[in-house]
A and B are shown apart, each in its own frame.
Chain A
Amino acid sequence: EPEVTQTPSHQVTQMGQEVILRCVPISNHLYFYWYRQILGQKVEFLVSFYNNEISEKSEIFDDQFSVERPDGSNFTLKIRSTKLEDSAMYFCASTGTVRTDTQYFGPGTRLTVL
């Protein structure tokens, strides 16, 4: 069964460093999302992406964040200058050709900022 994959599973970085979190959505999917979950808190929406552009972003998704689909398969989330409060689990999700269909989640990347 097709699945969403994410790499790395765990990333440790120093405050102020740039990180890139990678996701490979299911191959024929068109709608892509990043969510994050701070330890002990609920999952929060970061950004949605469709047709090679951001369709919606949350207040969390400030100028330090960017997303890209560089080659038609990967979907990346970049944090330019990490802060301690960026430490969280980051989930990628994708949906097929119907926007309101089930979202399939990747296993997550745990980001730890020291």
Chain B
Amino acid sequence: KNEVEQSPQNLTAQEGEFITINCSYSVGISALHWLQQHPGGGIVSLFMLSSGKKKHGRLIATINIQEKHSSLHITASHPRDSAVYICAVGGNYGGATNKLIFGTGTLLAVQP
């Protein structure tokens, strides 16, 4: 069983739609990360959160520690939001490390 599960794996939306991507995890964590990966391959950190909710522009990330669940929302989606969105968790796994455990990603395509 994967330690980090994302859904859906693929998502197609029309421009302007509200989008939700979900992430569930089964391990203890210190923080959950949402990352964006564009077709060229580079990875950009969007959010790091350990409780509650964070907002940046049209992006909102929430986490429920008790439920071991997080969601990434995109409001008023735009074609430039098309990318792979990855959930990853980091934890106190011992020692001087905070390795991230990654989900498989959600491929989002926003059509004009």
Residues on A lying within 8 angstroms of B by beta carbon are: 31, 33, 35, 37, 41-45, 48, 50-51, 55-56, 58, 89, 91, 95, 99-108, 110
Contact = CB atoms under 8 A, between A and B. Distances in A.
A103 B96 contact: no
B42 A107 contact: yes
Contacts of A105: 35, 42-45
B26 interface: no
B31 interface: yes
A110 B97 contact: no
Interface residues of B, number: 28
Contacts of B98: 31, 48, 95, 99-100, 103
Given A43-B100, A48-B96, 17 more contacts: A50-B96, A56-B93, A56-B95, A56-B99, A89-B41, A95-B98, A99-B96, A99-B97, A100-B92, A102-B48, A103-B45, A103-B100, A104-B45, A105-B43, A105-B45, A108-B41, A108-B43
Contacts of A55: 95-97
Contacts of A106: 42
A101 B97 CA distance: 11
B102 interface: yes
A45 B100 contact: yes
Nearest to B104: A42
Interface string B88-108: 101011111111111111000
B42 A42 contact: no
Interface string B4-41: 00000000000000000000000000110101000011
A56 B48 CA distance: 22
Nearest to B105: A42
B63 interface: no
Contacts of B96: 31, 48, 50-51, 55, 99
Interface in B56-97: 86, 88, 90, 92-97
B101 to A, nearest CB: 7
A44 B4 CA distance: 12
Please indicate which of the listed interface residues A89, A91, A100 has the most CB atoms of chain B within 10 Å of its own CB: A100
